[in-house]
Amino acid sequence: MDVLSRQAIVGRLDTRRLAHKVLFFDEIDSTNTLAVKLAQEGAAEGLLVIADSQRSGRGRLDRTWHAPAGSSLLFSLLLRPPLLLGQAQRATMLCALAAVRAIRDVARVQARVKWPNDLVVDGKKLGGVLTEIRPRGQQLDYAVVGMGINVNLDLTELPQVMSPPTSLLAERGEPVSRLDLLTRLLQEVDALYDEMLAGWSPHAAWREHLDTIGKSVAVGTREEVIRGVAESVDENGALLVRDEDGVLHTILVGDVTLRGHRT
Ligand code: BTN
Task: State how far Cα 137 lies from the chain centre.
Answer: 25
Residues 41, 84: contact at Cβ < 8 Å? no
Q: Which of 114, 130, 162 to mutate to test the pocket of ligand 1 (most atoms within 8 A of CB)?
A: 130
Query: What's the order of all strands across the beta sheet hosting 139-150?
Result: 22-28, 48-54, 72-79, 139-150, 124-136, 118-121, 112-114
Query: What's the order of all strands across the beta sheet hosting 216-220?
Result: 248-251, 239-243, 225-233, 216-220, 255-258
- Which phi and psi angles does 139 have, rounded to 5°? -100, 170
Q: Which of 58, 115, 256 to mutate to test the pocket of ligand 1 (most atoms within 8 A of CB)?
A: 58
Say how far apart CA 66 and CA 236 lie, in whole Å.
29
As beta bridge partners, residue 196 has none
Atom in ligand 1 nearest the alpha carbon of residue 67: 9
What average pLDDT score do residues 170-196 get? 97
Quickly state the pLDDT bin for 261 (edges 50, 70, 90): very low
Atom in ligand 1 nearest the alpha carbon of residue 32: 12
Atom in ligand 1 nearest the alpha carbon of residue 118: 2
Ligand 1 site, residue 116, Cβ cutoff 6 A = no
Average pLDDT, the chain: 93
Q: How far is the CA of 244 from the centre of ligand 1 (A)?
A: 34
For residue 1, is pLDDT > 90? no
DSSP-based three-state secondary structure for 2: coil
Q: What is the predicted pLDDT for the residue at 262?
A: 37
- Which phi and psi angles does 237 have, rounded to 5°? 95, 0
The pTM of the whole model exceeds 0.75: yes
For residue 143, is pLDDT > 90? yes
Contacts of residue 53, defined as CB under 8 A and 6 or more positions apart, other chains included, come to 26, 27, 28, 67, 68, 69, 70, 74
The model's pLDDT over 237-255, given as tens digits with 9 standing for 90+, comes to: 999 999 999 999 999 888 8
Q: How far is the CA of 57 from the centre of ligand 1 (A)?
A: 6
Q: How far is the CA of 23 from the centre of ligand 1 (A)?
A: 17
Atom in ligand 1 nearest the alpha carbon of residue 63: 3
Contacts of residue 94, defined as CB under 8 A and 6 or more positions apart, other chains included, come to 189, 192, 193, 196, 202, 206
Ligand 1 site, residue 127, Cβ cutoff 6 A = no
Of 143, 145, 140, 142, nearest to 128 (Cα)?
Answer: 145
Residues 59, 103: contact at Cβ < 8 Å? no
What average pLDDT score do residues 124-143 get? 95
E strand or H helix that includes residue 187: helix 178-197
